[in-house]
Structure 1
Amino acid sequence: MADGTATTQEKGEDEEGLTEEVIANCNVKVARRISTRYNIPIDGLQGLPEIRERFRKHIHLKQGAEQESREVLHVVSDLKDKDDSSRRRLQGLLQEMHKILETCDAKILEQLECEPDTTDHKIKMAHHLEKLQSTDCPILVAGETSSGKSSLINVLLGEDFLPSRHLSCSSVICKVQYGEKKKAIVHFKDKRTPPATIPLPAGMADLAKHLFKKSDREKESECKEVDIYLPLDYLKSGIFIVDSPGIGESDVMTAAVMEYLQQAFAFIYVIKSDNAGGVQEDRLKKLLKDARKSRKQDKFINPASAIFVCNRWDLVESHGPAEADKVKMDIIRKLRACWSGLQDHQVFFMNTERAARDLEAGYVADDLARLIKGIEDLIPRTFQVKIQLSWSWVWYMVWRALHLIKSFLLKSTVTGSDLHKRYERAKDEIKRLQQSTNKILSDRKDELEKTTRELVDLMGTFLLEKTTESDMQSWAESEVPEVVKGAEWDVLQYQVESCVTARLEELIDDWEMKMKHFQTKIDGMMKTTIAGMNDVEVQLSEVEEELHSPGGHRRSIVLQPQKPRSPQKGVRDLVDLSTEHLDLSDKILLGITSPLMATFGVIGAVAASPVLAVMGIQALKKKYTDQQERRKYKADKCKYVAERAMEKLEDFRANAESIRKYVQERLKPVQDYLQAFEDNLPKKVKAQLELMERIAQDQRTARELASDYQPLLEKVSGMKTKLALFELEELNLLDPCRVECEATQSLTDTPQGASTSLKKGKATKSDGTRIDATIKSYKNKIDDTTVGDFSTVRKLNHDNILRFVGICFSDEIPQLVLQAADGSLRKHLQKVTVMMVNFGRNILPAMRGVCAGLQYLHSKQLVSFGLSQDTIMVVEGEQDSDRFKLAHVSEPRALHLSPEDYSGPAGPYVYLPPEVLREGVTYDSRSDMYALGLMMWEVWYDQKVFYDAVEDINLRSFIATGAQPETSGHHKHPTVEEEAGETWRTIIQECLVTPDKRNLTPSQAIEKLEDINWR
């Protein structure tokens, strides 16, 4: 092309002669010939390595490789559109819940105000609605001085819109946002000075005068901030980029970044890689510590939303692969020391200037492509985290409202005497719970004190080691402050003090990185602490459930630590450890309305190790203020700093209280959890006692209570379903149970028209491990009738139910991933042809296992919708009746059939009771018993029920026939005694009667099956 940029015409042509061998061996002269022949621009490239890389890019493009968009933020723009849609949807749900709350009676509203987490709910509702209306999407780019922040922003924008300099940096916050015309508006701190409008690009030089400041950066700039407006389509959606001053250059500038940092959807931190290993840990630690201190109610830094760009990486690579690997490992080590939870995929190594040159020539550098992919993976999760804060709040509100409504409704279904007995029993259980909790808290506090003493001793030993003294006294010229002409001695002394303190912090961090004393202790204590807290949470939740469940049952409270289901790796995994068996409502019992904010409270406290000056180490008491000291420092800076460093070390290790404060600060996550638990549990208990008293004093009749609360129950239950569906569809990236899966073969002969199928497959967990699994696939989009499947199965733990593994997505439709199985019960029984062996070894244990699974489900008001031999899975490696497991678990629900369903095949529906098919009534526990009867009929007579009737007819015709299986025929099991056979027939008959007479329960069926003998 005439402008020297690459063309993509004839994209598939073979660049004859331009091979890897030619590229690797070309010299400058040959390179110019190649450039001319193939129209590959090389102007501006520095040396043969960059030229060769450009040639490889050209071949890559010519061979048809997919080229990333030049405008990187197009990716973010598309994701932002999806986020806006999710926000509008959740906003609608909050508005709907707001209207529902307006219809609640005074007693419900008063009780909500009594509970610590739902007080001021009207104000909080308005706050969350306002948050969801915001379309702002700030992306904060911060970093170290002269690290190339502005250059990176230009790469992200695709053009050089921001001026960048090598010797100075932006000294004010600069916002890049959408505008119809290119311009900059400079806002001044002095409100009397009107904003200055600068046209772009003509006024670029004038803009630079406001952006860059070479004088003392500690002084405040006259500018407050600069708004740059660019007519870029992808900025229309509300995306704007914030180019911040160099972090750590001044407290004034760092403070200005805080507000943007806490609301940013993405945080990109740029590191000057060639600056002695890059990461200026003290600055990044200070940034995170300041952010924690200034954190507002729902504004926080999500550690996973950060991207670290190690710029000028080519200068590091110029020293060879070995040195580059060493620097890379050192950078990641330092980042992990001050940014807890950091993952390798959050760190990128690149050269922004080279990336900009490639973009100008029409190519995307490999390192830029990796960064684009990283942003594409990061932003959706960050969007969902922001939305989840509002979702979590309204979900908790719905959960508490349901508890209150059900508790009032219970009074309409039981006698006053029964209600009094329940309440007295609940009070006794709460009292025992409090006593057990006090013991747990006392044990944990004792353990914390013991751990503190152990760590103080370990740290004291380290501080006395000769290597520690040696490291504190070893200083190079480049590591100590320069003597600047005209600078006051107090300033230089402060710089020396800062250097010495930073060195001691670094030595302690390196010691901890190697020995992991703090990490091991914190991880262990957090696991035991959270496990104990979880047990209390679950027990309190069960007490509440008993107070509103129609059946009610007495449960003695005995607290034992919860055992995690899988080994945990560190502090960042603790939330999964503590909540993997709970739904969100259970997670929030401690009074934290957002689990994510609780997570950050832990991570933040560990992320930045305590600054020693804050932990009780005073500044050096001896003041060196005379000129003699100045001359002494100038004569031998390294020796002078070494002496001051030893004074600092001796001062610290001689002060036992300072060491103790340091250790306590690092153990603060454990202390915070214990304190939150100790503070909030009494509030929860008090609210529950007040609720019982409020209901006991209520004078309304049973009919009045039902009239007041039944419609409200239906509305709030419907809202819970809608919110669950929203979580599944809009917040799925945050699900810790999300896995990747692939189906391999069907486990059952799925009837034509069935809405679900069960298949063998493989699941890949987040840690990369692959396991065998059963995949429950949904044919249609998940709706309000099936969304409950995904929440109920997570909380179940029974030998006769397929264990929950995770959730995967296929064509955006979620699929349940369950414990691996070998096949269905039907196929399993077909393998055994000797009937006399089959009954005792398989059939009888199978029916006992099915009944045990149903008994467990029904105790939790759940069912096995569509129960049949095809939905009972067999796990060969387990024993006796435990081999047989229910695959379908759901809440009771009605079957919604369309006209097309009625004219379609009857096969998928023959195991459903007639009343569910004909009348559309709810499939409940009695429906399960009907399906159990059909299953027992099939295995008894060794044939498929209704097989002839449904072979050639549709569902409407099948319903019209009113077919019922005949139970008087001779069975196929010669080893079963006659009396036992009669018992089997009786169970079948009791299961197949009309619903008003279908009173047999799973536990009663188990008792009957226990009496069956076989020879």
Structure 2
Amino acid sequence: MADGTTTVQDGGEKEIELTEEVIAKCNITRARKISTKHHIPIDDLENIGEMRQRFRQHMRQGGKQTHKEILHTVSDLKDKDDGARKRLQGILKDVQKILETCDDQICRQLELEQHTADHKTKIAHHLETLQSIDCPILVAGETSSGKSSLINVLLGEDFLPSRHLSWSSVICKVQYGENKKAIVHFKDKRKPVTIPLPAGMDDLAEHLFTKSDREKGSECKEVDIYLPLDYLKSGIFIVDSPGIGESDVMTAAVMEYLQQAFAFIYVIKSDNAGGVQEDRLKKLLKEVRKSRNQDKLQSINPASAIFVCNRWDIVERHGAEEAQNVKQDIIRKLRACWSGFQDHQVFFMNTEHAARDLEAGYVADDLARLAEGIEELIPRALQAKTHPSWNWIRHLVGRVLHYINSFLTKSAVTSTQLRQRYDRAKDEIRRLQENADTMMTDQKEKLEEVKGELVASMGTFLREETTESAMQSWAESEVPEVVKGMEWDVLQYQIESSTSARLEELIDEWEMKMKHFQSKTDEMMAIIIKGMSTVKVRLSKIEDELHNPDEHRYMAVFQPQKPQRKKGVRDFVDLSTEHLDLSDKMLLGITAPLMATFGVIGAVAASPVLAVMGIQALKKKYTDQQERRKYKADKCKYMAERAMEKLEDFRANDESICKYVEERLKPVQDYLQAFEDNLPKKVKAQLELMEKISQDQRTARELASDYQPLLEKVSGMKTELALFELEELNLLDPCRVKCAEVDDAVKFQRGNISLRKGKVTTTRRSKMDATIKSYRTKIDETTVGDFTTVRKLMHDNILRFIGICFIDEMPQLVLQAADGCLRECLQKGPKVSGMFGLNTLPAMRGVCAGLQYLHSKQLVSFGLSQDTVLVVDRDGGDSRFKLAHVCEPRALHLSPEDYSGPAGPYVYLPPEVLREGVAYDSRSDMYALGLMMWELWFEQKAFEKSEESMTLQSFIGTNMQLETSKPHKHVTVEEDAGEKWSTIIQECLRPPVDRNLTSSEAMQQLQGVSKDQ
């Protein structure tokens, strides 16, 4: 039928719609009739339940069979990523050209800082990294979990051989090729063997599966499988790995590819007792930790991992309650083993059933959900691969801009003023170093205190009866096997390895339950980050002051705000380094993840305390051949004795426990040490920069000639990088939220920008009211700064940043929810004349406070009016009134259509901005402030008759002026207060050359007006 429903008609029977009710009531006989009439294959199904499910699939798909290639969208995603990488390459090449031609002083200064030193080599490295097209997706997991079967399902055919009782022991790479074939590479010097597919599938299986001695592994090194699948053309390939944890040889093979993988799928054998084989997953994580410590492995984004619980139907056979219990247990264990794990990263399915349905032309529900998850994983992982290069380029450009602005400052101030600035900066740096030294001492003392607490807690655990019992409980399958001809030294090594591993497993399980290390680590990191944030802010302020054009404006940054805890974006998103983004950490020389992206569980790699004893030490202790006979006589008893001896030796030695604790806290120690090492280098580089500028003999004109063109070029690079982040790296933005709904009613619209009420869903899956600041046209170099600027602002009178959402692929700013605009607020109550002290005066004080803050940062509230001042009633006082439009000074770019259109949207902009195309700056804000105060004073809308009746061109041509001396409506306001109010209006509405009143001065005058008037 046209609506997607289907019907059944059998001989003389009345035609029956294939509905949920019909499906629910059908029996085997009726099911076969439905199958025949609608050509729905059911011969591969075992029972009526599966048949009903097949009919439901048929209904959902409208009777159409689905293409077998589940990952067909991957190619488009990869092509998009190719374009993004080429775009970033182009930006970096432009930066490279600028640095090749810029002043030598700039390049020499770059060499003094840790992350920009040897910048030419680093630029070449990032250009090469961005050129790489290798994009492996690693599929790993537990032995016999169905990894190869899952890949076959995703590919749409049985390309990889899989067996129920035999396990793959070789890395398999599935990549694009015009002809189906496999090339087998051997560990020895034999030439690779080419096997045609599918004809040679049995031959390939002989190479892939070992028949015995799994520890030794196959003679094959790896197998390349080539398939003519379009979505593999772009460089993505799938890697099928051996089982994790089955042997050290196989785990090493997996790790070799994990160092290259950009996406990770881990397959779990759900019908194992307890679900997740934690020891194997933890073993993998330990190997990851080892490689990262050795600088071999790039950080894996935990959010880019997918966990597939295969064979789930076997679990469900035990009932819904049991399945739910197993599911919750799996999720609990994954949370413990995988830092940052989210519930939506795990999927439950049966690959055999999915393959069966796919063969019949239907996509099972669980497979569809998995496909959606993978399609979400791939673009995120691709962006994560590009992000490090982008972030380094951004840092490089930021440092160059700082140097350029510092040199240009000398051309704008006198030598005396420059010396005074530098003297103040040196004093600030000295105080900063003193405070940092004190902070480091306090944090080190706190870390030692935490170590002591953990040593005590661990000592208590090691003395518990349950710990002793677990160390002494050994099964035959857990003890080393005595092989004929094996040296006693080797067997001793295996025994010691097993007892050490047992002790470490017990400690891991204890930590998983009690979370002592995790809680103390979180506590220490919070303390350290808070201290680092303070230093970072002070360093940035010192640098800003060196090239700030107006020291008085700069000082406004430090004006104290009343202490007030407000929920911001960091209350709604998951940020591992709460106060520092990566560029901030680079500023302080800290780039390693806090916990190397993984939690404490499994983080200790080959701890020196639990490492096996050296062979020589073992020989001295166990040289008696009776030891070998004792072991052979009762291996489990012998292991219990040796394990208990290991436990007693370990817990009796506080130094050993302390070393173990130090190893667990090493990420914290490393983070602290990196900060301590780099801060002096950073300070030294800044002092040398000031000295260079002081000694520079160039005139002001020469400095401007050398650096002003360079400033424009590098500023352009900064803008391009911001635009790149917004357009190409937005999936990684921790501030990204989902727009749940947007009110159709536009609260404000001016030009390209509008404000609407809406609701968003945060990364923590909670909904909240918000103000959506929408852009009707594509974000460009002019507006991209809006998205970066507002993130860094925190002021009572600035509408707080919540996040970024995308509507129809267009980025939108998500800001704090408001109750309405100032104009609406004042219109709801009594006449303005009766609300002067309650609303009017507090509103203008709030606006001035917001402008004062923005102007101190060289920012403006573009298009300021009563319509862009929003009101949040719950904040109370002057803080109720918030500026909604915040940006850097910019010129207004109008089209001929804008000039011929109504003047309405533009009447609050200064004449010079409209007529001359000059940038909207702080003086423009003061003009808009004057218009607002005029409207409130006379209870009349400025230029009201001109908004709709005149075109913008006519409005500009008339050069209309407001009357400021006519009688006002506030008859109860004292004359002195009225004069102050009128004076501010007159000062704000002066021509731009005479408009000298600042927001700070206006604020001072308003502070002198009593609310009681």
TM-score (norm 1): 0.92
Distance 1:225 1:137 in 2: 17
Does 2:652 match 1:654?
yes
Shift of the 344–500 alpha-carbon distance from structure 1 to 2, 3 Å rule, reads farther
The aligned counterpart of 2:358 is 359
RMSD: 3.2
Cα distance, 1:210 vs structure 2: 2.1
Cα distance, 1:766 vs structure 2: 1.1
The aligned counterpart of 2:952 is 955
Does 2:430 match 1:431?
yes
Cα distance, 1:422 vs structure 2: 1.3
The aligned counterpart of 1:12 is 5
The aligned counterpart of 1:87 is 85
Distance 1:612 1:865 in 2: 58
Q: Deviations over 1:663-704 (max 9, x none)?
A: 111112211110110111111111111111111111110000
Distance 1:381 1:93 in 2: 21
Cα distance, 1:905 vs structure 2: 1.4
Q: Where does 1:479-494 land on structure 2 (aligned, <5 Å)? A: 479=478
Q: Deviations over 1:43-67 (max 9, x none)?
A: 454x43xx52343132232244698
Cα distance, 1:315 vs structure 2: 2.7
Shift of the 628–54 alpha-carbon distance from structure 1 to 2, 3 Å rule, reads farther
SS, match of residue 246 in structure 1? coil
Does 2:861 match 1:864?
yes
- Is the Cα–Cα contact under 8 Å of residues 967 and 985 in structure 1 kept in the other structure? yes
- Is the Cα–Cα contact under 8 Å of residues 262 and 301 in structure 1 kept in the other structure? no
Equivalent AA in structure 1 for residue 5 of structure 2: G
Does 2:779 match 1:782?
yes
The aligned counterpart of 1:734 is 732
- Is the Cα–Cα contact under 8 Å of residues 992 and 998 in structure 1 kept in the other structure? yes
Shift of the 397–559 alpha-carbon distance from structure 1 to 2, 3 Å rule, reads farther
Shift of the 867–246 alpha-carbon distance from structure 1 to 2, 3 Å rule, reads same
Distance 1:350 1:826 in 2: 57
Does 2:529 match 1:527?
no
- Is the Cα–Cα contact under 8 Å of residues 799 and 882 in structure 2 kept in the other structure? yes
Shift of the 937–743 alpha-carbon distance from structure 1 to 2, 3 Å rule, reads farther
SS, match of residue 734 in structure 2? coil
Q: Out of 958-967 and 462-471, give the one that drifted further.
A: 462-471
Equivalent AA in structure 2 for residue 41 of structure 1: P
Q: Deviations over 1:965-1001 (max 9, x none)?
A: 1212211111123343333222212111111111011
Distance 1:104 1:11 in 2: 66
Distance 1:347 1:153 in 2: 17
Shift of the 956–532 alpha-carbon distance from structure 1 to 2, 3 Å rule, reads same
Does 2:980 match 1:983?
yes
Q: 1:724 pairs with 712, 722, 738, which one?
A: 722
Q: Out of 636-645 and 847-856, give the one that drifted further.
A: 636-645
The aligned counterpart of 2:878 is 881
Does 2:947 match 1:940?
no
The aligned counterpart of 2:579 is 578
Q: Deviations over 1:811-858 (max 9, x none)?
A: 112221212211111111112334442222221221121111111111
Distance 2:421 2:410 in 1: 11
SS, match of residue 739 in structure 2? strand
Q: 2:671 pairs with 670, 673, 694, which one?
A: 673
The aligned counterpart of 1:915 is 912
Q: Where does 1:344-743 land on structure 2 (aligned, <5 Å)? A: 344-476=343-475, 479=478, 497-552=496-551, 573=574, 575-579=576-580, 585-592=583-590, 598-599=592-593, 601-604=595-598, 606-610=600-604, 614-616=608-610, 618-619=612-613, 621=618, 638-742=636-740
Q: Out of 677-686 and 731-740, give the one that drifted further.
A: 731-740
Distance 1:505 1:127 in 2: 40
Gaps of 5+ in 2: 9-15
Cα distance, 1:759 vs structure 2: 2.0
Distance 2:633 2:232 in 1: 56
Distance 1:564 1:932 in 2: 29
The aligned counterpart of 1:4 is none
- Is the Cα–Cα contact under 8 Å of residues 747 and 758 in structure 1 kept in the other structure? no
Q: Where does 1:748-897 land on structure 2 (aligned, <5 Å)? A: 750=748, 754-897=751-894
Cα distance, 1:84 vs structure 2: 1.6
Q: Where does 1:111-122 land on structure 2 (aligned, <5 Å)? A: 111-122=109-120
- Is the Cα–Cα contact under 8 Å of residues 929 and 988 in structure 2 kept in the other structure? yes
Q: 2:97 pairs with 96, 99, 108, which one?
A: 99
Cα distance, 1:398 vs structure 2: 0.7
Distance 1:822 1:373 in 2: 38
Cα distance, 1:137 vs structure 2: 1.6
Cα distance, 1:475 vs structure 2: 4.2
Q: 1:136 pairs with 134, 137, 142, which one?
A: 134
Distance 1:584 1:827 in 2: 42
Equivalent AA in structure 2 for residue 119 of structure 1: A
Gaps of 5+ in 1: 1-7
Q: Where does 1:168-183 land on structure 2 (aligned, <5 Å)? A: 168-183=166-181
Distance 2:670 2:422 in 1: 33
Q: Out of 78-87 and 324-333, give the one that drifted further.
A: 324-333
SS, match of residue 799 in structure 1? coil
TM-score (norm 2): 0.92
Cα distance, 1:600 vs structure 2: 6.2
- Is the Cα–Cα contact under 8 Å of residues 292 and 300 in structure 1 kept in the other structure? no
- Is the Cα–Cα contact under 8 Å of residues 137 and 264 in structure 1 kept in the other structure? yes
- Is the Cα–Cα contact under 8 Å of residues 268 and 309 in structure 1 kept in the other structure? yes
- Is the Cα–Cα contact under 8 Å of residues 339 and 608 in structure 1 kept in the other structure? no
Shift of the 36–661 alpha-carbon distance from structure 1 to 2, 3 Å rule, reads farther
- Is the Cα–Cα contact under 8 Å of residues 926 and 998 in structure 1 kept in the other structure? yes
Equivalent AA in structure 2 for residue 924 of structure 1: D
Q: Deviations over 1:239-287 (max 9, x none)?
A: 1111122223443433333342122121112222333334333333332
Equivalent AA in structure 1 for residue 652 of structure 2: A
The aligned counterpart of 2:41 is 41
Cα distance, 1:144 vs structure 2: 2.5
Does 2:252 match 1:255?
yes
The aligned counterpart of 2:13 is none
- Is the Cα–Cα contact under 8 Å of residues 265 and 307 in structure 2 kept in the other structure? yes
Q: Deviations over 1:227-249 (max 9, x none)?
A: 11111111111111111222234
Shift of the 742–209 alpha-carbon distance from structure 1 to 2, 3 Å rule, reads closer
Shift of the 156–559 alpha-carbon distance from structure 1 to 2, 3 Å rule, reads farther
Distance 1:284 1:574 in 2: 24
Equivalent AA in structure 2 for residue 115 of structure 1: E
The aligned counterpart of 2:11 is none
Equivalent AA in structure 2 for residue 505 of structure 1: E
The aligned counterpart of 2:209 is 212
SS, match of residue 949 in structure 2? coil
Cα distance, 1:485 vs structure 2: 7.7
- Is the Cα–Cα contact under 8 Å of residues 112 and 118 in structure 1 kept in the other structure? yes
Shift of the 469–567 alpha-carbon distance from structure 1 to 2, 3 Å rule, reads farther
Q: Deviations over 1:880-918 (max 9, x none)?
A: 322211111110011111111111111111111111111
Shift of the 835–38 alpha-carbon distance from structure 1 to 2, 3 Å rule, reads closer
- Is the Cα–Cα contact under 8 Å of residues 743 and 759 in structure 1 kept in the other structure? no
Equivalent AA in structure 2 for residue 524 of structure 1: E
Distance 2:117 2:448 in 1: 35
- Is the Cα–Cα contact under 8 Å of residues 259 and 296 in structure 2 kept in the other structure? no
Cα distance, 1:326 vs structure 2: 3.6
Q: Out of 832-841 and 64-73, give the one that drifted further.
A: 64-73
Distance 1:909 1:495 in 2: 81
Distance 1:437 1:684 in 2: 13
Equivalent AA in structure 2 for residue 71 of structure 1: E
Q: Deviations over 1:6-52 (max 9, x none)?
A: xx99953145487768867878777666655654434454x43xx52
Q: Out of 888-897 and 136-145, give the one that drifted further.
A: 136-145
- Is the Cα–Cα contact under 8 Å of residues 798 and 853 in structure 1 kept in the other structure? yes
Cα distance, 1:618 vs structure 2: 4.2
